Structure 1
Amino acid sequence: MQSYSRREKAADFVSSTEAIYVYEAPVRVWHWINAVSIVVLALTGYLIGAPLLTQPGEASTNFLMGYIRFVHFTAAYLFAIGLAGRAYWAIVGNRHAREMFWVPVFSREYWMDMLTMLRYYSFLGPTPRQFSGHNPLSRFAMFFVFLLISLFMIVTGFALYGEGAQAGSWQQIAFGQVSTFIGQSQTVHTWHRLGMWAIMMFLIVHVYMAIREDIMARQNMVGTMISGYRTFRK
């Protein structure tokens, strides 16, 4: 496993106002498509779990929930394929593209920086040094919250999809044992829905932190995911 080396730490530090190219185009495109997919999945997933009231008229003339399920499944495929593409780019992209997929948990320097960031976000410490990529706390959250929960949602989602696709489908063959491992279909539904709420809470905190850093940390965050460049103010 890679280590959080002094060279990497020094490369992260920026003291000038020079713009640094951080996020390559594939990462930025994935970020915004992924954000839209999560919002669509959350809205349609909520309605699937708490369906709308019965529509008036003949049942054969109403397919509203069917359309909602179709949109949900389409966004789910986009979300899963996008994450697979993001994993590929972590291999061929720059070092910032790999930060989401591993955390230097055995590095003392990393945990010291993490403590500094926690004190800063709790308004108990001074403004920490600037990072060109993810700071230690956001890196931790991206891996242990976003990435792991996303993988869990993909696995449980395709397990539930396999029930409708029925025996013999690739979804049922690949993920059919998930329900057996967790307990039963309804249990998978429950955990999948809890995962949705966890992702939404992460999304809210993520947006808040990005805007907060834009204002308080003398560096652009939201703009970096649009242009790819991060600039720093003295």
Structure 2
Amino acid sequence: MTMSVKDKEGVAEGEQKAEELITRKQTAVYVYEAPVRLWHWITVFSVITLCLTGYFIGSPLPTQPGEAIDNYLMGYIRFAHFTAGYIVAIAFVARIYWAIVGNHHARELFFPKMFSAKWWKEVGHEVRWYLFMERTPKKYIGHNPLGQLAMFFFFVLGMMFMIVTGFALYGEGLGMGSWADQMFGWVIPLMGQSQDVHTWHHLGMWYLIIFIMIHVYVAVREDIMSRQSMISTMIGGWRMFKDDRPD
């Protein structure tokens, strides 16, 4: 069976595309340094612990049967909450330090380019991409502009709020004159009273839970639909690109 000239051209074109796919280089850029990745995963597991234990602190379990000395479950829950709170706070301070001494990708979360018209234009593009109004996403080595904006307002500022209010409440347990009371005791009268701080801190927990759900969805979605790797980048540090087009 003979092939027409048109069929031969189609086969040749298909072979050429296949060869291009095989020989195409997949570029990679080292983005997230080890301290950034370590901070990310420490914070992930610590915040999960804080949310779980914080829920039970706000809505305690029913009274356990037997002598109180034999049932220290809520004590263990509070201890886990306080320990995770210390870890998050120390890791957050270390992350701020690394934003100063690390590479420029380490500073993206803390210093979004909010005074750049081009940056805001790209934020708009990302919003349209997430709303399925753009056919093709842009390529970014670090966080995309919308990701920078969201992480700064919803995570960085939110985490600072939770750390400050958390240690203010912790200072009540340690007592007046303790280091936590001296450093964060001003928060309680500023917000009204202790119960007000408890309420806002508890609401902040649900805020973080919603943020985590959105963050996981976006990360998985971008790993599948964007033009660069996402989840594996936060594990190995290397950003892999799915095509060689520059923009």
Measure how far apart 1:128 and its partner are: 2.5
Deviations 1:11-32 (A, max 9, x none): xxxxx72110000000001100
Which structure: larger Rg?
2
Q: Partner residue of 1:152? A: 161
CA distance, structure 2, for counterparts of residue 72 and residue 80 of structure 1: 12
CA distance, structure 2, for counterparts of residue 166 and residue 142 of structure 1: 34
CA distance, structure 2, for counterparts of residue 136 and residue 198 of structure 1: 22
Structure 2 residue corresponding to 1:82, chosen from 91, 97, 109:
91
Q: Scaled by the length of structure 1, what TM-score is found?
A: 0.92
Deviations 1:152-210 (A, max 9, x none): 00000000000000011100111111110000101000000111111111111111111
- Matched to 1:159, the amino acid is A
- Matched to 1:74, the amino acid is T
Q: Determine helix, strand or coil for the equivalent of 1:201.
A: helix
CA distance, structure 1, for counterparts of residue 136 and residue 82 of structure 2: 43
Structure 2 residue corresponding to 1:208, chosen from 206, 217, 227:
217
Percentage of identical aligned residues: 58
Q: Scaled by the length of structure 2, what TM-score is found?
A: 0.87
1:113 and 2:138 matched: no
Q: Determine helix, strand or coil for the equivalent of 2:231.
A: coil
Structure 2 residue corresponding to 1:171, chosen from 163, 180, 184:
180
Q: Is the 8 A contact 2:137 2:227 kept in 1?
A: no
Between the two proteins, the alignment pairs up a number of residues equal to 220
Q: Partner residue of 1:69? A: 78
List structure 1 runs of 4+ shifted beyond 4 angstroms.
Answer: none
CA distance, structure 2, for counterparts of residue 45 and residue 74 of structure 1: 12
Paired residues for 1:12-161 under 5 Å: 17-161=26-170
Q: Determine helix, strand or coil for the equivalent of 1:20.
A: strand
Measure how far apart 1:121 and its partner are: 0.2
Structure 1 segments unaligned to the other structure (5+ residues): 1-15
Q: Is the 8 A contact 2:138 2:227 kept in 1?
A: no
1:231 and 2:240 matched: yes
Measure how far apart 1:80 and its partner are: 0.3
Higher RCO structure, 1 or 2 (CA under 8 Å, sep 6+): 1
CA distance, structure 2, for counterparts of residue 204 and residue 102 of structure 1: 24
- Matched to 1:63, the amino acid is Y
Measure how far apart 1:219 and its partner are: 1.5
CA distance, structure 2, for counterparts of residue 93 and residue 102 of structure 1: 13
Q: Is the 8 A contact 2:228 2:241 kept in 1?
A: yes
- Matched to 2:108, the amino acid is E
Q: Partner residue of 1:220? A: 229
Measure how far apart 1:105 and its partner are: 1.3
- Matched to 1:197, the amino acid is W
Q: Determine helix, strand or coil for the equivalent of 2:198.
A: helix
Deviations 1:77-116 (A, max 9, x none): 0000000000000011000000010111111001100000
Structure 2 segments unaligned to the other structure (5+ residues): 1-24
